[in-house]
Structure 1
């Protein structure tokens, strides 16, 4: 598995990985699958300040992870929110772990101190993944997101580097 930085030409494969999460889950609260152009913009915007990493095997993207601004105030400049999405048929291949290893190392090297993950409940796999990596739950917001005619809770997990 090769980990590398994302670029615009990856947008089509990234959309195909992300689409099932949008269409079939409340893991993301987006209602519509973003266009390839939207994803190209997201990649470019993210790379201005944060890592946006791809896990690739034989030219096929297996997953991606990126960091983003937690809150747009200077006092939060040492904190980043992390996201990871893995192709459905690659979920048991440690793709997420490899991406997070590289993402956390890059963020630490860049001077970040706090890492945050926002998880929709109930996503036990993501909770277990993050807790195994040393993230602790620090907040629980009840019925905060509405999708598929249902209200969902979210939890925030934090890891201090």
Structure 2
């Protein structure tokens, strides 16, 4: 698949909202329960990009098929070198190397910013994402039982961690 990875712009908000709302409505990948608006996505992009990288994957036809970003892992100064990372792809863009390319761009930028630790918070039942992160060098750091609740059931979450040397 011919894809370019580039920094996000606010004009990408509508495409990103569509991708993310699929995961809100159809999966346990996000613990949000209500769809977000384009304006909400714009606000999130503006807030995150003040300090952290945010990338999109765009086809040669200018279709955005995925995105990833980092955000603070904790709110206090002691966590300044740690981030939580997130990646979302259109379902038909999975298993084609798009997530890998997004994460490669994200990791390059995070390393240049002095980040030492990345954490991915993944629903335990999302085996595809757990395996993806493990293939990228993430190791399980924590297994949190019954920490989330969605679709009328309790969910476990795995924290996967990658430490830059």
- Normalising by structure 2, we get a TM-score of 0.96
**The residue matched to 1:152 in structure 2 has which SS?**
strand
Equivalence map 1:139-154=2 (5 Å): 139-154=142-157
1:119 to 113, 118, 122: 122
When the two structures are aligned, how many residues end up with a matched partner? 161
Q: 1:83 aligns with which of 83, 86, 96?
A: 86
1:36 counterpart = 2:38: yes
- The residue that corresponds to 1:108 in the other structure is 111
1:16 aligned residue (15, 18, 22): 18
Distance 2:161 2:150 in 1: 25
RMSD: 0.6
Distance 1:27 1:63 in 2: 14
Q: Give structure 2 stretches of 5+ with no counterpart.
A: none
Distance 1:19 1:76 in 2: 29
Distance in 1 between the 2:137 and 2:92 partners?
26
Unaligned runs of 5+ in 1: none
The Cα shift of 1:92 comes to 2.1
1:124 offset after TM fit, Å? 0.6
Q: Find runs of 4+ consecutive structure 1 residues off by over 2 angstroms.
A: none
Report SS of the residue matched to 1:18.
helix
- Give the whole-Å Cα distance in 2 for the aligned partners of 1:148 and 1:54: 29
Query: For 1:84-99, what aligned pairs fall within 5 Å after superposition?
Result: 84-99=87-102
